[in-house]
Amino acid sequence: MIYKIFLSLIFSSIFGLAHTQIIAIKAGKVVDPSAGNILMNQIILIENGKIKEFGSGIVIPPAAEIIDLSASTVMPGLIDAHTHICAGISKFADKLGVDFFDLVLLNPDGYRAIQGSVNAKQMLDAGFTTIREAGNSGKYTDVDVKRAINEGLIPGPTILAAGRIITPFGGQFRTKADKQFLLNNEYLFADTQDEIKKAIRENIFYGVDVIKIVVDSKRYKYSAGDIKYIVNEAQQAGLKVMAHCQTAEGVSNAVTGGVASIEHGWTIPDSTIVQMKNKNIVLVSTDFPVRVLREFGSNEEKAKAAHNRFIERLKKVYSCGVTIAFGSDIMVDVAEETRGTLAVSYIDSFVEAGIPPSDILKIFTINAARLLGIERTRGTLNIGMYCDLIATPDNPLENIETLKKVSFVMKNGIVYKKQ
């Protein structure tokens, strides 16, 4: 008995020390996106995945593990508020005679989960420590991938999952084909209030973190009254509503209905922009680069024209003071790019729109964190928050392109990418 107690004390001591291991990061420069400034020669002490101490005069404990980033610039991890890691456009759509978008929605859930696992790792490697998965993931494969990451089975960002997208009948399907398309698990068709309530509750039951709706993908669309009902039902469970909107009327209905964010919002009337600012509704702008639009099926001329429209809309919304959060909306593969490197390349669109680096950093960090409701735990580097941070060779406030060269990634105090 004494022998067992002795061993127990030894193991408890060993595992206790491992559990409370302190990590000390020597940071040459630290970016504070909220203030838009640089802190020099900082020490960040991390314990149990959270920031314990942070400052310039901190004494490093003798037993701490030291990570030397004194030659780099450190900042909070990036956030993508509109991803589709469990979806990918198939290159075989034309051969099968099926609309390319519909074909990706018919991929089986097992394949979706594998896609999600691979893409999650790629997003993390590029510096995205948190993502909001915007559906198009079959029957809750985004929730499954989130669980696998949380349990440590696979590496990936912190995921907030939307599950199955709630939409009027037909969803975003384009092909008028056999009924098997409409029996797919991609969407929850809901046209009446009873159907809407059931769809919201099903999503909540299966573990979603946000309710995603498609407002206006068909000639019929959700009314402002429909959306207000959706928002109220979601709020009762503590969830926000993200609204896919393509048309001016769809955006207007979603804003009137009180959603948390407009996704895409490619056509927004001036009066609606003012409403968005007054109601603090966020635009997740998904401003596709030309090469991504080409992979979606547009020729060069159409891709450039669409991209230019997005940029002009982005300029107007930014100049009016609407809060913007970054979202990539990637569902395609581009040669020599991962999902992560492709997502971070969207900074070019914000540069084109004339947005300064300090505000681009906010769009990629604290704006998105506030939208996702995680601003008290992630999105900045403050004492008591989870330690999600990245390192870049240069100061992004002076050279925003350095975000494309992330050399170090830490999430929850665990290193996933080293210099």
Q: Which two tokens stand for residue 330?
A: 């990637």
| Residue 100, pLDDT score | 58
Mean pLDDT lowest for which of 30-39, 176-185, 273-282? 176-185
pLDDT tops 90 at residue 307: yes
Give the distance, in angstroms, between the CA of residue 147 and the centroid of all CA atoms in the same chain: 16
Mapped onto helix, strand or coil, the DSSP state of residue 165 is strand
What average pLDDT does the segment 122-134 reach? 98
| Interatomic CA distance for residues 83 and 159, integer angstroms | 10
CB atoms within 10 A of CB 334: 16
pLDDT tops 70 at residue 3: no
| Interatomic CA distance for residues 200 and 212, integer angstroms | 9
Give rounded-to-5 percent helix, strand, coil for the chain. Answer: 40, 20, 40
| Interatomic CA distance for residues 341 and 174, integer angstroms | 29
List Cβ neighbours of 399 (8 Å cut-off, separation of 6 or more).
357
| Interatomic CA distance for residues 189 and 308, integer angstroms | 33
19-23, 179-183, 352-356, range with greatest mean pLDDT? 352-356
Q: In the chain, which residues fall in CATH 2.30.40.10?
A: 2-75+409-417
Q: In the chain, which residues fall in CATH 3.20.20.140?
A: 78-372
- pLDDT tens readout for residues 4-50: 444 444 434 433 334 468 999 999 999 999 999 999 999 999 999 99
Q: Which two tokens stand for residue 234?
A: 């979601």
**Annotation: CATH topology of 2-75+409-417:** Urease, subunit C; domain 1 (2.30.40)
| Interatomic CA distance for residues 251 and 272, integer angstroms | 8
Q: What are phi and psi of 73, to 5 degrees?
A: -105, 125
Which top CATH class is 78-372? alpha beta
Q: Judge contact between 266 and 302, C-beta under 8 A.
A: no
